[in-house]
Amino acid sequence: MAEVRLDNVSKVYDGGVRAVNDVDLTVEDGSLLVLVGPSGCGKSTTLRMVAGLEDITQGSIYIGGRRVNDVLPKNRDIAMVFQNYALYPHMTVYNNMAFGLKLRKYPRHEIDSRVRDAAELLEISPLLARRPKELSGGQAQRVAVGRAIVRHPKVFLFDEPLSNLDAKLRVQMRVEIARLHERLGATMIYVTHDQVEAMTLGSKVAVMKDGYVLQIDTPLGLYNHPVSKFVAGFIGSPPMNFLQGTLVQDAGAVRFECKDMTLMLPEGLARSVRSHVGQSVHLGVRPEDIHDRAFFPEVDEQNVKVLHTEVVEPLGAETLVYLRSQSSAQDIVAKLDSRSSPRVNQEFRVAFDASKAHVFDGKTEESLTYGAEDGGAASG
Ligand SMILES: Nc1ncnc2c1ncn2[C@@H]1O[C@H](COP(=O)(O)OP(=O)(O)OP(=O)(O)O)[C@@H](O)[C@H]1O
Ligand SMILES: [Mg+2]
């Protein structure tokens, strides 16, 4: 097993596209790092540079302490699983898994024991004699993972391996990959554009945008302490609500004002944003921090608002309600627990838990509350 380290890595493709910019990243030995971000942000390019499938324009990549910039892919001791798992259609499952080892001239008995061990681990032993067209999507995906496992690589690289599967199977395979990571204790880098997948899988998650890594943290670290409006909006489902407005000094306190909405900020939060009084900011409140007034008594009365219910989605354990302010200037989503049963087209009283709010600079969109000792969200 091995640590993977990217030191100031950039990639400029022929033609000038800057796909990856100054990325510093350490994946500790035996840990699983998820790279997440919107389409085109440079996730695959980063992974392919680790694999050796793309040249590195600038910077260094180390695997197990060895600089691998000029090491051929086959000598890097990595195995990669792609989205289109590309099994050889004319070969059995057994031979698909054995193929790479045969090429590398492993002894027959060694190949056999590795293939059978991997098949057992992935619960595909009964399928070894089948051909790919006789497999379901999930089974084919497992064979693709098996092909990587038999190599006993130091590092596993996954590039959106589950995106061809339907939603239910994806959840199941996600659990299996997490379990696999635990059992093999291998270093893994997992690329996805799905933030839910990132949050459930990664012990560490790196959020990318436009070729830059914006933040690396644990899933809860990202959720509670996003460095910027982008990260705040990307992590969490439904996404955080953002209101654009101004901070106003109100006696000893600070309040946030936007078109037909005013919210009082609690003391801790006010302290970390005081330097921005009078300036334009984005206030972020997660749907789960907006409550049915009836079940949230301990709220500052000034942060109770009457909003109009546009759409109600009862999901069982919780209910999503899409709300609109009086002059329709603000759309807001609230995630209510199952005790609430709002109806469509009604005036509905919600309580904003401002202690969980985030405040972002109106221009740079960087968090003003990040790193603050007890600024609202920063207290967790
Ligand atoms: N071979 C190439 N030549 C030139 N530009 C490329 C090449 N491959 C990718 N790019 C560009 O580099 C940027 C990053 O692409 P990359 O494939 O790494 O994104 P990604 O984050 O994996 O996206 P997705 O989620 O859609 O897979 C994009 O702007 C893309 O158009
Ligand atoms: Mg990609």
pLDDT digits (tens, 9 = 90+) for 149-207: 999 999 999 999 888 788 888 888 888 889 889 988 999 999 999 999 999 997 899 99
Using a 6 Å cutoff on CB, does residue 17 contact ligand 1? Answer: yes
Nearest-ligand number for the alpha carbon of 21: 1
Using a 6 Å cutoff on CB, does residue 41 contact ligand 1? Answer: yes
Using a 6 Å cutoff on CB, does residue 11 contact ligand 1? Answer: no
Atom 2 in ligand 1: which residue has the minimum CA distance? Answer: 13
Using a 6 Å cutoff on CB, does residue 16 contact ligand 1? Answer: no
Alpha carbon separation from 354 to 221, 230, 285 (Å, rounded):
19, 20, 8
* Whole-number pLDDT of residue 377: 47
CA dihedral defined by 242, 207, 184, 81, rounded to 10 degrees? Answer: 110
pLDDT higher than 90, residue 86: no
Domains in the chain (CATH in brackets) are 4-230 (3.40.50.300), 239-379 (2.40.50.140)
Using a 6 Å cutoff on CB, does residue 45 contact ligand 1? Answer: yes
* Whole-number pLDDT of residue 137: 85
Centroid of ligand 2 to alpha carbon of 160 (angstroms) = 7
* Whole-number pLDDT of residue 158: 95
* Whole-number pLDDT of residue 347: 95
Alpha carbon separation from 129 to 86, 90, 244, 278 (Å, rounded):
18, 12, 60, 71
Strand order in the sheet with 280-285: 261-265, 253-258, 241-250, 280-285, 358-361
110-154 pLDDT, tens digit each? 999 999 999 998 889 999 999 999 998 888 989 999 999 999 999
For the entire predicted model, the pTM comes to: 0.91
* Whole-number pLDDT of residue 251: 85
Ligand 1 atom nearest residue 15's Cα: 4
Ligand 1 atom nearest residue 11's Cα: 12
pLDDT band at 374 (very low <50, low <70, confident <90, very high): very low
pLDDT higher than 50, residue 62: yes
* Whole-number pLDDT of residue 297: 87
